[in-house]
Amino acid sequence: MTAPEVKLFNTLTREKEVFVPLTPGQVKMYTCGPTVYNYAHIGNLRSYIFPDLLKKLLAFLGYQVTQIMNFTDVGHLTSDADAGDDKIEKAAAALGKSAWDISKFYAEAFKQDISALNIAFPSRFTYATDYIPQQIDLVKALEDKDLTYANEDGVYYDTAQFSDYGKMAKLDLEGLQEGARIDADGKRNKTDFALWKFSPSDAQRQMEWESPWGKGFPGWHLECTAMIFAELGPTIDIHTGGTDHIPVHHTNEIAQAEGATGQPFVKYWLHGEFLVLDQNQRMGKSEGNFVTLQTLIDAGFSPKAYRYLCLTSHYRHFLTFSQDNLKAASTAYFKLKRTIEHLHAQDDRHPEGAAEYREKILNALCDDLNAPKAVGLIWDLVQNDQVGDAHKLVLIREFDQILSLDLLNFTDYPELLLQIPDEVQSLAQARWEARLAKNWAESDRLRDLIQAAGFQMRDGKDSFELVALDA
């Protein structure tokens, strides 16, 4: 079978496009990493699962993938309008620690979180503070092209001088500029952004550097572009991030990169949609409603069950997080593993059925990373009597290289699940289905059998819990 085409939804064109790398067989990819002033929340972590799938899919198809992911360890301000505090310096002051220690601590915590989620490390992690000379050089290059101006606050990018400004976000520039020609902050245009901010005169910053314009620190957008140039070159294949990056951060990255080099910056821009809570409320660090991976672990959930939950929704769709959703995902995830555990490795009937599944699963993943469809097909596969179990196991092993759900690891069941006999689990599942079908007589009959075995079902909105009767 020849490898299928990979199609990716490109935010630049708002279309699914066939992926053609700049250099045959090679992929240069950049993933905007976290701002390390706090733990990542599970929404942040969701936005690193789809790049992980993508790079594993491309590697599976034979591409050599170089992925860079940064840590924003300076310069990300509390407001997108280049005002407010530096998030890391603020956290450091609040905790009475050094900014350097804070960023190092949370960068390590992030590495642990993504490891727990089976997100493979990038080819290299880059720290913005390690690339200050490159960032200064980039500002100089922009200065040489007359794209900058200095004011009391720092060196700014003059967005009116870059003709394509806002093209990816389809910004309504006229609407934005109306009545804002000379801004209170001394900006020429409302969309102008800081490349280099001067250190305040009335307070001592912990992180600051000398520059041709004065002592200060880089702007957040500048960091990513400079690290990309340093590590991957002026033009890359793929750049990923969350949808919130489209109107400001990535718009400004394009202006910096293309303004400085005159060459296209990124061929495919991919953006992941938010994890939300009830009423579509975004989970965010500044919203104060955030849940960390450790909170899920403390509540008895496996990080892989969270990964499973993420994979059951497309990366470009909102995913609503709730305890019930996670519980349902966790139940389904361990049930899938149980089913796989009971497959018979000697049953090698019907290899042709397996070949069909292989093609379908791969096609789903190649179609803009349709992981929900791929997971659905895996379920279908394990339950299909027309495919020999041995072939199922080969396919599961193969695709778990991409899905990374540890589908062949049968040693990590939650304790309670281990204590509940398989027959009781099957009865509970059958009762849940009878209940959904409003077959109350059957549901009651099964409930009695479950109770006779010493267990009780607690019904939630979308899922159930099995507990021992004496618990």
Q: Which structure tokens are listed for 214?
A: 């004065």
Helix (H) or strand (E) holding 240: strand 236-242
In DSSP notation, 172-226 reads -HHHHHTT-SS-TTS-SSTT-EEEEEEPPSSS--SS-B--TT-SEEE-HHHHHHH
Which one-letter DSSP state was computed for residue 120? P
**Least distance CB 69 / Zn ion (angstroms):** 10
Helix (H) or strand (E) holding 15: strand 15-18
241 binds ligand AMP (CB under 6 A): yes
128 binds Zn ion (CB under 5 A): no
Q: Which of 140, 205, 282, 335 binds ligand AMP (CB under 6 A)?
A: 282
219 binds ligand AMP (CB under 6 A): no
Binding mask 68-97 for ligand AMP (x = CB under 6 A): ----x-------------------------
Task: Tell me the window of 20-28, 114-122, 237-245, 445-453 that interacts with ligand AMP (CB under 6 A).
Answer: 237-245
Give the span between the Cα atoms of 272 and 317, in whole angstroms.
8
Tell me the pairing of strands 64-71 and 154-157: unpaired
Task: Tell me the window of 41-49, 135-143, 200-208, 438-446 that interacts with ligand AMP (CB under 6 A).
Answer: 41-49
For ligand AMP, the closer of residues 75 and 241 by Cβ is 241
367-390 core/surface letters (b: 16 or more CB in 10 A; e: else): bbbbbbbbbebbeebbebeebbbb
Binding mask 251-280 for ligand AMP (x = CB under 6 A): -----------------------xx-----
244 binds ligand AMP (CB under 6 A): yes
For ligand AMP, the closer of residues 189 and 313 by Cβ is 313
For ligand AMP, the closer of residues 316 and 445 by Cβ is 316
According to DSSP, the residues that pair with 72 across neighbouring strands are: 35
Tally: H helices and E strands in the chain: 17, 16
Give the span between the Cα atoms of 152 and 216, in whole angstroms.
12
341 binds ligand AMP (CB under 6 A): no
Task: Tell me the window of 113-121, 211-219, 240-248, 299-307 that interacts with ligand AMP (CB under 6 A).
Answer: 240-248
Helix (H, G, I), strand (E, B) or coil at 126: strand
Contacted entry of Zn ion, ligand AMP, none for residue 224, CB cut-off 5 to 8 Å set by kind: Zn ion
**What residues numbered 30-49 form the site for Zn ion, per CB under 5 A?**
32
Q: Which structure tokens are listed for 345?
A: 């490795």
In the complex, the residues that contact ligand AMP under the rule CB under 6 A are: 32, 34-35, 43-44, 46-47, 72, 241-242, 244-245, 274-275, 282-284
Which residues contact Zn ion by CB under 5 A? 32, 224
